[in-house]
Amino acid sequence: MIVTVTLNPSVDRTVEVDELRRGEVLRASSSRVDPGGKGINVARALARHGIETKAVVALGGAEGDHLAALLDRAGIDVTPVRIEKAIRSNITVVEPDGTTTKLNEPGAVLTAGELRRIVDAAVAASAGADWLVASGSLPPGTAPSVYADLVERLAGTGTRVAIDTSGTALAASLPARPSLVKPNHDELAACAGRHLLTLGDVVEACHALRERGAGAVLASLGPVGAVLVDGADARLAYAPDTVPVSSVGAGDALLAGFLAAGGEGTDALIQAVAWGTAAVTLPGSRMPGPADIQPDDVLLAPTIPSDLPLTQA
C-alpha cells in the first residue's frame, strides 16, 4: 500500500482558452473541476491503476466538503482530518499549445493541534505500508521541518518515505534521510543554490542532494524527461514527440508511476516517464489510467549527454 499526505489540498478548476490576454474578458472553451494537491494527485493516479492507496487529507470549509465529495466520486480511500479554516481553491488556465498558467491560493493556516493530528493520522495510516508520500507546498506558517518529522517518525518501521516539495521544506527534509526526493528542475536548482543549465548540472545537483541525505533523487525535467540518481550511476529516460495538453499534475503522475513499479531502478524510471508523459496528454489535472500508459514509447539514454542544454526543462 502507498499512503499519501496532503497538508495543503485544493479544489482545482481548469479552464481552456484560445489565448490568455491580460485585462480582457475571455470566454472559456471548456472547464473542469478536479481534486487538487500533490499527494491527492498521486493517490488518484494509483487508484486508477487499482493500486491500494490511502490519502490523508486536511479538510475544512465548504471547499473541503466539495473536495471530499470529489474524492469519494473518484473512489479514493480518504483519512480526513478536519480543520477550522477553509482549504484553498486554485485556477489553471490552459492554452491550445499546452501553455499553462496557474493561480494558486496560499491555503489555510493550521493550528498546532491540527498539524499534530494530521501528522499522527499519516503515521497511523502508514502502518504496514510500503511508502508514505509527503508532498506539496506547506500551508502558511507551517514549520519547514514537518516532512522531516514524518521521516524520523517512520524510521525503522519498514515504510519508506518519498518527499516531493520545494524550498525550505525540501532542504529541511534531507538530513532526516528520506528514501526518495522528487524535485523538478526549478526545485532542484533552488535547493542546489545555482542555475542548472545542462543535464550535467542536473546530475551533479542530484548527487549533492544524496550527499545531504536523500537516498535517491528522481528529477522531473518536463519534455527533457527524468533523471534518476540512486548511486554512482545516473540514468535518463524520456518520451520523444509528445504533444502536451496540460502539464498540471504530470510530476505527481510521474512519482506515482515510479512507486507503482517498485520505487527503484531502471524499470521504475521508465514507468515513471510513461505515467508522466500520459498525464501531459490529458486535460486539466486528470490522472492517466492503464490504457493511457505507453512504456514502449519511453527511451532510455545509453549515456547522459552532460552538455545538453536544458532550454526546455
Q: How confident is the model at residue 115 (pLDDT cuts 50, 70, 90)?
A: very high
Contact at 8 Å (CB) between 133 and 162? yes
Dist CA 78 CA 76 (whole Å): 6
More confident residue, 313 or 99: 99
* Of the listed ranges 6-20, 170-184, 237-251, 274-288, the one predicted with least confidence: 237-251
Evaluate if residue 145 carries a pLDDT over 90. Answer: yes
Domain count, the chain: 1
Average pLDDT taken over every residue of the chain: 93
β-pairing, 2-6 vs 53-59, is parallel
Dist CA 233 CA 154 (whole Å): 28
**Residue 300 burial (CB < 10 Å; 0-12/13-18/19+)?**
middle
Sign of the CA dihedral with 246 first, then 249, 313, and 277 last: negative
The pLDDT tens digits of the residues spanning 27-61 come to: 999 888 989 899 999 999 999 999 999 999 999 99
In a domain, 262, yes or no: yes
CATH number for the domain that contains residue 104 = 3.40.1190.20
- Determine the structural domain holding residue 134 and report its residue range: 2-300
| Stretch 106-113: mean pLDDT | 94
In DSSP terms, 228 is beta-bridged to 218, 235
State residue 246's pLDDT score.
73
* Of the listed ranges 91-100, 172-181, 271-280, 293-302, the one predicted with least confidence: 91-100
Dist CA 65 CA 234 (whole Å): 44
| Stretch 244-259: mean pLDDT | 89
Rounded to 5 degrees, φ, ψ at 191 are -70, -35
State residue 89's pLDDT score.
92
State residue 249's pLDDT score.
82
In a domain, 307, yes or no: no
Contact at 8 Å (CB) between 5 and 118? yes
| Stretch 94-103: mean pLDDT | 86
Q: How confident is the model at residue 310 (pLDDT cuts 50, 70, 90)?
A: confident
In a domain, 311, yes or no: no
In a domain, 70, yes or no: yes
The set of cell numbers assigned to 103 is 493561480
Percentage of the chain surpassing pLDDT 90? 81
Dist CA 160 CA 259 (whole Å): 10
The set of cell numbers assigned to 233 is 550511476
Helix (H) or strand (E) holding 172: helix 167-173
Evaluate if residue 313 carries a pLDDT over 50. Answer: no
In a domain, 193, yes or no: yes
Evaluate if residue 312 carries a pLDDT over 70. Answer: no
State residue 311's pLDDT score.
67
In a domain, 151, yes or no: yes
Which positions are catalytic?
252
Q: Considering all CA atoms of the chain, what is the largest pairwise distance in Å, rounded to the nearest integer?
A: 56
Helix (H) or strand (E) holding 238: strand 234-238
* Dihedral angle computed from the Cα positions of residues 98, 249, 138 and 168, in that order, rounded to the nearest 10 degrees: -70
Dist CA 306 CA 163 (whole Å): 26
Q: How confident is the model at residue 100 (pLDDT cuts 50, 70, 90)?
A: confident
Evaluate if residue 71 carries a pLDDT over 70. Answer: yes
In a domain, 55, yes or no: yes
Evaluate if residue 279 carries a pLDDT over 70. Answer: yes
The amino acid at residue 160 is R
Number of H helices, E strands in the chain: 9, 14
Strand order in the sheet with 160-164: 78-82, 53-59, 2-6, 131-135, 160-164, 180-181, 217-220, 226-229, 234-238, 299-300
In a domain, 194, yes or no: yes
